[in-house]
Structure 1
Amino acid sequence: MAAKLIGGRVVGGGGEGRSRRSFCRELLKRRQPRLPQFTVSASASMDAYKQLGMFSLKRKIEDAVLKAEMMAPTALELEEEQWMRQEEMMRDCDLWDDPSKSNDILLKLADTAKTVDALKDLKFKAEEAKLITELAEMNAIDYGLFEQAYDSCLDVSKSLHHYEMSKLLKDGYDMEGAFMIINAGSEDADSQIWVEQLVRMYTKWAEKLGREARRASLDKSEGFVSSASIEFEFEYAYGYLSGEQGIHRLITSSRNGFSSTSDEACATVEVIPLFLRTSPDLKVNDEDLVVSYSSSENTVWIKHLPTGISVESSGERSRFANKIKALNRLKAKLLVTGSKNVLEESRRYTSRPRKMVLDMKTGVEVSNMNSVLDGNIRPFIAAHVGMRQNS
């Protein structure tokens, strides 16, 4: 019978008690084709580069596995206990007596079940990365295997980050999706190009999370994007992104001889909840609304007269669907803001002479602006969530 790895134990293949390391040796013998190996036979410079890369990957893998081993078992135990309590509550509750309460219990039970599955998957991936690392060390340092283990650890790190953040994000609409509107601060080309860069930044951020961001609308003026909206249809997107609301300012300084000039582009970012499972629980009077339609497309605009808040929707195939979506966006905006508010400066991006990004709300500063624009905004998001919890 062939040996198998089940739950971190090696079984079969001539005995139940065989060690993981002996199983690794057999697995290595059977591996075909072998991945490229980097040993001392390579040139000195190339060998040094590969060794440095290998040690760096190994350290990152060990850090991710250690964190998973410290957090995952306790977190999984707590979530499974909560799951059992919720199941008991559901058994004790008459689901037909109070449909609203029953629906809330069922939703929470489903959320906990998903969390338990995610934590089990996290533990498996951490064990997999650890095993692959052992295989690599036994195979005279196989850089390809270390890369494979590192890919598994990236998934572990993302899952851990998402779990940690989900425990912090407990405000009213944190668990909902997010609808983001980005508008150019002026009609100049620089501000409109800046809108495109911000759209790319938030799209790349979602990709790095393993999630999808859908561009709901893109309004162009003379070839440039004057306004854009993005839908993040995944849980906790609003909790993550609500701190991004405000004015995002790009400053570019240049020196010409003894004088220096500074160019500025800005865009406003608004974020409202995108309700994923239910419609916003808010009644809006029809007489308070002005609804208008485009003549050639299915775009729908709705203005709320008491507050002056306006919304639009153009991503659906029919006017009716766009009207429903626009109405939901209006309700979400009313729930979050209550009235028309002035956006404050949120973040300042300086491209020259020093490329850095400063968050005006939390004081967090990142020296690599290109990395931020490539979607690496986790430090800012974590700081915003932490600040909300402290307050």
Structure 2
Amino acid sequence: MRTIEQVLDIDAMRQEIVDLGEQVGAADLWDDQENATRVTGRLSLLQGQVDRFAELSSRIEDLEALVELGVEEGDADSMAEAERDLVKIKKSVEQLEVRTLLSGEYDVREALITIRAGAGGVDAADFAETLMRMYTRWAEQHKYPVDVFDTSYAEEAGLKSATFAVRAPYAYGTLSVEAGTHRLVRISPFDNQGRRQTSFAAVEVVPVFEQTDAIEVPDEEIRTDVYRSGGPGGQSVNTTDSAVRLTHIPTGIVVSCQNEKSQLQNKASAMVVLKAKLLARKKAEEKAHLDEMRGDVQASWGDQMRNYVLNPYQVVKDLRTSYEVGNPQAVFDGDIDGFLEAGIRWRMGAEKAGAS
């Protein structure tokens, strides 16, 4: 824990919390709303990190006391409880250790995820929906809010595409390792001959930018289309043309939002997504990392970064890290922390190798 404390520089965080607290207490803070948003957001982030470190340190101290008591009293129940606590604490320490590796420029940001069905027809659309459920279940398990901006349903089953945000500090740094092509191999439930089917889905992850990361988008560069929201099987979600599709003409970027109640709300949400993608593109181009930031993947053969195999055997394996799990259903239910941690460590190793 001492090493983690030094890497995170908890003392510096505490001092910054004091400084930001003084700014928050200023009477004129909200005269500049953009600065106020930045200050309060940074304060909340730092306080959360310090609180998590303090809580974990307290749990370790309690564990030490429990072990000491169990040894002195020869209490088998206390020792058994200590063993259970040790497993939980070890996992928490590993997660905090991984957090220290998230030092990229955008890693602290929330994540905006887009999933697209690739090659494989209806199985690919079904797979895209399964991946969306996997990520939202993971977020639920960690108590991270999720905002769904758009879901485009396929005709028979599944999703053509979906865009949603995971609202948590470091969500981008954590989930960015998921960007790429995911491959599913299984007996297709949509094939009446019961044949094995290979299908693909592409995952794109970009950071959600703050209000202070303003980017100007002239009205003449945007084409706005409105249409009626649709649900699975073409069912109408509502009876008004409230869904909004924005096309950024110079870049060809298209975003949609149909999950709000009014056209005005949908347009505002779509603009959030469009600006995030445009700013990610701009900043990534400046650093020559566009593919890394946006996940330039084709969702087809020879491009995959992870395999989900359900037949003839069952395994989920990441092709970059070689991390694998023999229980695909648990993975689809959101148990992906092992893949995320392995991916973050792999990325750090790759960055060090590239710098040497």
TM-score of the aligned structures, taking structure 1 as reference length? 0.66
The answer to whether residue 59 in structure 2 is matched with residue 125 in structure 1 is yes
Which protein shows a greater Rg?
Answer: 1
- Give the structure 1 partner of residue 222 of structure 2: 289
Contact 1:136 1:146 in 2 (8 A): no
Cα deviation code 1:211-265 (max 9, x no counterpart): 34454444433452223333211111111111212221112379xxxxxx75212
1:324 to partner: Cα distance: 1.5
Q: Aligned residue for 1:313? A: 257
Partner of residue 328 from structure 1, selected from 272, 282, 286: 272
| Structure 2 equivalent of residue 385 of structure 1 | 344
- Contact map agreement 2:67 2:79 (CA 8 A) in 1: no
Which of residues 246, 249, 268 in structure 2 aligns to 1:302? Answer: 246
Match of 1:142 among 54, 57, 77: 77
Tell me the distance in 2 between the aligned counterparts of 1:158 and 1:273: 26
Alignment pair present for 1:112 and 2:46:
yes
C-alpha distance 122-365 of structure 1, shift in aligned 2 (>3 A): closer
Pair 1:175 & 2:133 matched: no
Q: Per the alignment, do residues 209 and 90 of structure 1 end up closer, same or farther by CA in structure 2, a change over 3 Å counting? A: closer
Following the alignment from structure 1 to structure 2, what is the Cα–Cα distance between the partners of residues 267 and 162? 28
Aligned to 1:43: none
Which one is further off, 242-251 or 180-189?
180-189
Question: Alignment partner for residue 144 of structure 2, among 203, 211, 232?
Answer: 211
What is the one-letter code of the residue matched to 1:266? F
Would you say the 8 A contact 1:311–1:330 is kept in 2? Answer: yes
Residues in 2 aligned to 1:231 and 1:341: alpha-carbon distance in whole angstroms: 16
1:232 aligns with 2:160: no
**Is the partner of 2:15 in helix, strand or coil?**
helix
Number of residues of Structure 1 aligned to a counterpart in Structure 2: 311
Q: Which amino acid aligns with 1:313?
A: C
Q: Does 2:203 align with 1:269?
A: yes
1:355 aligned onto 2:286: no
Following superposition, the deviation at residue 322 of structure 1 comes to: 1.5
Pick from 317, 328, 333: which aligns with 1:374? Answer: 333
| Cα pair distance change 1:162/1:216, threshold 3 Å | farther
> Once the 2 structures are TM-superposed, how far is the Cα of residue 355 of structure 1 from its aligned partner?
2.4
- Larger mean CA deviation between 169-178 and 206-215 belongs to 206-215
- Cα distance 1:309–1:75, how it changes in 2: closer, same or farther (>3 A)? closer
Provide Cα deviations, 1:5-47, integer angstroms capped at 9, x if missing partner: xxxxxxxxxxxxxxxxxxxxxxxxxxxxxxxxxxxxxxxxxxx
Partner Cα distance (1:299, 1:151) in 2: 49
Are 2:172 and 1:241 aligned?
A: no
Is residue 2:135 matched to residue 1:191? no
After superposition, the Cα gap between the structure-2 partners of 1:113 and 1:367, relative to the gap in structure 1 and judged at 3 Å, is closer
| 1:110-159 alpha-carbon deviations (Å, 9 max, x no partner) | 43333222211112223344455667775853399729x736863x4565
% same residue: 27
1:160 is matched with which residue: 93, 104, 108?
93
CA contact (8 A) 2:13 2:50 kept: no
Cα distance in 1 between the residues matched to 2:341 and 2:147: 23
Amino acid of the residue matched to residue 364 of structure 1?
S
Alignment gaps of 5+ in structure 2: 189-194, 229-239, 283-289, 298-302
Q: Aligned with 1:142: secondary structure?
A: helix
What is the CA-CA distance between 1:71 and the residue it aligns to?
4.9
Unaligned runs of at least 5 residues, structure 1:
1-67, 255-260
> What is the RMSD of the two structures over their aligned residues, measured on CA atoms?
3.9
Quote the residue 1:25 is aligned against.
none
> How has the CA–CA distance of structure 1 residues 321 and 372 changed in structure 2, closer, same or farther, with 3 Å as cutoff?
same
Q: How does 1:8-19 map to 2 (within 5 A)?
A: none
**Match of 1:352, SS?**
coil
TM superposition shift of 1:84: 2.2
Distance in 2, matches of 1:233 and 1:187, equals 31
CA distance in 1, matches of 2:56, 2:295: 42
Residue number in structure 2 paired with 1:61 = none
Query: Which residue type is aligned with residue 322 of structure 2?
Result: V
The AA in structure 1 aligned to 2:114 is: I
CA distance in 1, matches of 2:251, 2:103: 28
CA 1:87 to 1:252, structure 2 compared with 1: closer, same or farther past 3 Å?
same
Residues 30-179 of structure 1 aligned to structure 2 (within 5 Å)? 68=1, 71=3, 78-84=9-15, 87=18, 107-131=41-65, 138=73, 141-142=76-77, 146=81, 150=84, 154=88, 156-157=89-90, 159-179=92-112
